[in-house]
Amino acid sequence: MTIIPQPKNRRRVLIASLLSIIPGLGQIYLGEVQRGLVLLFGLPAQTAIFWAIGGQWLAATTVIIWAWNILDARKLARGTKVSLAVPILLLVVLNLAAGWHVTKIDLYELATGVPNMRRIGVSLFQPQFVVRDVRASAVYTVPGPDVTKLGYRSEPASDAPNISVSPDSVVKGQNVTVSGRKFPSNQNGVLRINVGSDWQKISIKTDSNGRFISKFVNQSTEPGDYIVEAIIGLPFNQWHPSETLKLTSRLMLETIFLALVGTAMSIIVTVPLSFFGARNLMKTSRAGRIAYAATRGLFNVLRSIEVLIIAVMLTAAVGIGPFAGVLALAIHGIGALGKLYSEAIESIEQGPIEAITATGASKLQVIAFAVVPQIIPQFISFTMYRWDINVRMATVIGLVGGGGIGYILMQYIGLLQWKEAATAIWLIAAVVMSMDYASAVIREKLL
């Protein structure tokens, strides 16, 4: 069907098109005030935002929306109201493009940079949970004009496994004898000699007295110190947890307790406060409504400040360490738990309260028998959930000096000790996953 424009209609179209050169005016003229106002203020605002973050070229893209605005005005003048799907989709795409620009996404760098993560990635799968071998090392020297011997040829403790090389100063092609003692008896192992960037490896086996003797030919011509390391497997019954595992476990426990105490501190403050944050209890009087608004306001403010920020601020007061972390979790937790508790109180049924009030029970008895049984399961459930979140948060707080496992993890990463870092990371993952699971199971039972 073709619409033949009437003269009056044609004038409307013309006026609308001309007016909509300033976006939105055409729509306002045609009575679509809301759409017009959104265009009138929205389009310049969007353009300004693009200009600010991406410069003139990004800002210029909004000309597409401007063009759509003129088309829309013309269509409106002819009596059809176009759906907003197209401009909204366009805006989403433009804003995503702007976001791409702002966040400096660089796929080339990602593709070329990933191999640099190889060592980290490999180490991640070599966490040091158990010690399965004993190691000892010694150094020999290829002499040269500028070589000074390394200083660390210290005497090992007499009962510790140790190796010695003889002679300890060799030229290329010369035999080197390595002898080890005080190792576990009758075990297989490997001797590795550091040659340049690689290791030369020789299989060895200890005798019944825990000794071995092995020979190799020095291949190095480059003057300098070379490390020889013996790695002898431990029999299964002598495997033991590594020092890293012991340390990280202790700090993991510290983190869990840090979260526990932080959560407990929030509960002590939040349980009484949350009643003031429950609209159904507070709406009856003017003072109550003010208390409600103040409490909810406090909860919102506390909740919206990140735990990390609170922790960093608190380290100024109480110094670096777990206490700053505990306080940060407690303060943030008041906001988070307060909202949940208050909403739990708001969602209770009035019926039992009415019924028990009607029996002539006191206010305290009504709370004890009608309110508390209704909120206890939810309170416990929310608290479990909070503790679970707090364990994760406590880990992150450690990164900025709040103590716990996060702190040691940061040190491992700083010292490029990736295997030790991997130990901590896997431990955190295991604990967080099991707490997550446990709290989910318990919450399901309760509700």
Partner 1 sequence: MSLKIEHLTKIYDDGTVALDDVSLEVPDGQFLGIIGLSGSGKSTLMRCINRLIEPTSGRIWLDDVEVTAADSNELRKIRLHIGMIFQQFNLVKRASVLTNVLTGRLGYLPAGTGLYRRFPSEEIKRAERNLARVGISEKALQRADALSGGQQQRVAIARALMQEPGILLADEPVASLDPATAHSVLKYLEEINQSDGITVICNLHFLSLTRRYAHRVVALKSGKIVFDGSPSEIDNARFREIYGEDAEEVEVR
Taking CB under 8 A as the criterion, the residue among 34, 103, 158, 359 binding partner 1 is 359
Question: Which of positions 296-355 make contact with partner 1 (CB under 8 A)?
Answer: 349, 351-352, 354-355
**Toward partner 1, which CB reaches closer, 27 or 381?**
381
The separation between CA 190 and the C-alpha centre of its own chain, rounded to angstroms, equals: 40
In whole angstroms, the minimum distance from the beta carbon of 447 to partner 1 comes to 10
**Toward partner 1, which CB reaches closer, 384 or 435?**
384
In whole angstroms, the minimum distance from the beta carbon of 446 to partner 1 comes to 10
Question: Which of positions 365-394 make contact with partner 1 (CB under 8 A)?
Answer: 365, 368-370, 373-374, 377
Sign of CA pseudo-dihedral 245, 248, 254, 256: negative
Round to whole Å and give the CA distance between 286 and 67: 53
Exposure letters 127-159 (e unless 16+ CB within 10 A, then b): bbbebebbebbbbbbbeeeeeeeeeeeeeeeee
**Toward partner 1, which CB reaches closer, 306 or 354?**
354
Query: 408: how many CB neighbours lie within 10 A of its CB?
Result: 22
Taking CB under 8 A as the criterion, the residue among 188, 362, 411, 434 binding partner 1 is 362
Taking CB under 8 A as the criterion, the residue among 163, 345, 356, 408 binding partner 1 is 356
In whole angstroms, the minimum distance from the beta carbon of 64 to partner 1 comes to 51
**Toward partner 1, which CB reaches closer, 291 or 361?**
361
Question: Could you please report the per-residue DSSP string of 104-165?
Answer: T--HHHHHHHGGGGHHHHHHHT----EE-EEEEEEEEEE--TT----S--PPPPTTS-EEEE
In whole angstroms, the minimum distance from the beta carbon of 273 to partner 1 comes to 21
85 φ, ψ to 5°?
A: -55, -45
In whole angstroms, the minimum distance from the beta carbon of 290 to partner 1 comes to 19
**Toward partner 1, which CB reaches closer, 201 or 283?**
283
In whole angstroms, the minimum distance from the beta carbon of 438 to partner 1 comes to 22
Q: How many residues bind partner 1 (CB under 8 A)?
A: 20
Residue 156 contacts partner 1 per CB under 8 A = no
Residue 272 contacts partner 1 per CB under 8 A = no
Residue 358 contacts partner 1 per CB under 8 A = yes
Q: Which residues pair with 141 in a beta bridge?
A: 169, 225
Taking CB under 8 A as the criterion, the residue among 360, 414, 444, 445 binding partner 1 is 360
Contact region with partner 1 (CB under 8 A), list: 24-32, 132-140, 260-268, 358-366? 358-366
Round to whole Å and give the CA distance between 43 and 425: 47
Q: Tell the burial category of 442 from Cβ atoms under 10 Å away from its Cβ (0-12, 13-18, 19+).
A: middle
Q: CA nearest 377: which of 334, 419, 347?
A: 347
Strands 188-195 and 212-217, bridge-based pairing? unpaired
109 φ, ψ to 5°?
A: -60, -40
Residue with tokens 């206890």: 376
In whole angstroms, the minimum distance from the beta carbon of 374 to partner 1 comes to 7
Residue 280 contacts partner 1 per CB under 8 A = no
Encoded tokens for 113:
């940079």
Sign of CA pseudo-dihedral 263, 265, 271, 273: negative
In whole angstroms, the minimum distance from the beta carbon of 363 to partner 1 comes to 9
Residue 357 contacts partner 1 per CB under 8 A = yes
**Residue 91 contacts residue 65 (beta carbons within 8 Å):** yes
In whole angstroms, the minimum distance from the beta carbon of 441 to partner 1 comes to 19
In whole angstroms, the minimum distance from the beta carbon of 381 to partner 1 comes to 13
Encoded tokens for 312:
């960093």
**Toward partner 1, which CB reaches closer, 3 or 447?**
447
Round to whole Å and give the CA distance between 397 and 407: 8
Question: Which of positions 12-41 make contact with partner 1 (CB under 8 A)?
Answer: none
Residues in contact with partner 1 by CB under 8 A are: 349, 351-352, 354-362, 364-365, 368-370, 373-374, 377
